[in-house]
Amino acid sequence: MARSENPMGAGMTESGQPEPGKPGMAVEGPRQRPAAKPRLGYGLGAMAALLLGAWGIPAQAVGGGKGTAPTVTTVQGAVQASVTAPPDDHDDDDDESDDREVSWQEAMDAVRGEWLVSNKEGIFDVGPCSATDRRLCGWIIGLKYRTPQPPRDYWGRSECGLGLLMRFNKTHSGRWVGHILDPRTGRIYQATVWRNKKGQMELHGYIGLPIFGQTEIWTRFKGPEPGAQCKMDPNIH
């Protein structure tokens, strides 16, 4: 399955802030609570709806203007944004981390591979961003849809193969901290991923502070593999 590089970097300064004068790249202000949470087809959309709607928290987000999609760049040309990692003692009962420093290889092996999202409507391929970039990225490789073509993101790009988990860095405890793109709104959120003791991958998306967030639990995908254009078997549930 072809995967596109993760969108980020264009229109941003080295501090991770939008460049002045870039249309559609400004940080948005507070949003009103929606009358109903939109259902976007897989767990990321539901998480984004909850993050924005349930508390009415301002979105520290990049993007938002039609025609201003983050440019698909090489990893070398991308700008890494700063992230804030949750405390390492978060959810100790299910976390595989301990006080020792976890090696890159161990941390990568823990989450590398194909994962089925919590609502069973999407599959992600998670692994190194590229052969030369040791950060963690994730791409959509499976989607449930009934239309002739896969769903399209905020800027009209096919979501099949789209990179949504963007340049996660390893922490001392072996967690990965980075950003996650909501393809339906163009917003980018901070996020942390790790594998728990049950062998599941937990993805915690948040705005500003980790306490203002939600955790999704993903499970190892065991097949069958998606067909053309990332189309999933509708019987997977």
CATH number at residue 132: 2.40.128.520
Q: pLDDT at residue 158 above 70?
A: yes
Q: Is residue 159 in some structural domain?
A: yes
Contact 195, 173 (CB under 8 A): no
Per the prediction, the chain carries an average pLDDT of 73
Distance CA 140, CA 205 (A): 17
pTM of the model: 0.66
Residue 27's contacts (CB-CB under 8 Å, 6 or more residues apart) are 18, 59, 60, 61, 62
Structural domain span for residue 115: 43-73+83-230
Q: Give the residue-averaged pLDDT of 71-85.
A: 31
Q: Does the residue 4 lie in any domain?
A: no
Residue at 225 is within a domain = yes
Is residue 15 included in any domain, yes or no? no
18 in a structural domain: no
Kindly state whether residue 7 falls inside one of the protein's structural domains.
no
Q: What percent of the chain has pLDDT over 70?
A: 59
Number of neighbours of residue 132 by Cβ within 10 angstroms: 9
Residue 26 inside a domain? The answer is: no
- Please give the tally of structural domains in the chain: 1
Q: Does residue 136 form part of some domain? A: yes
Residue with tokens 């998606």: 226
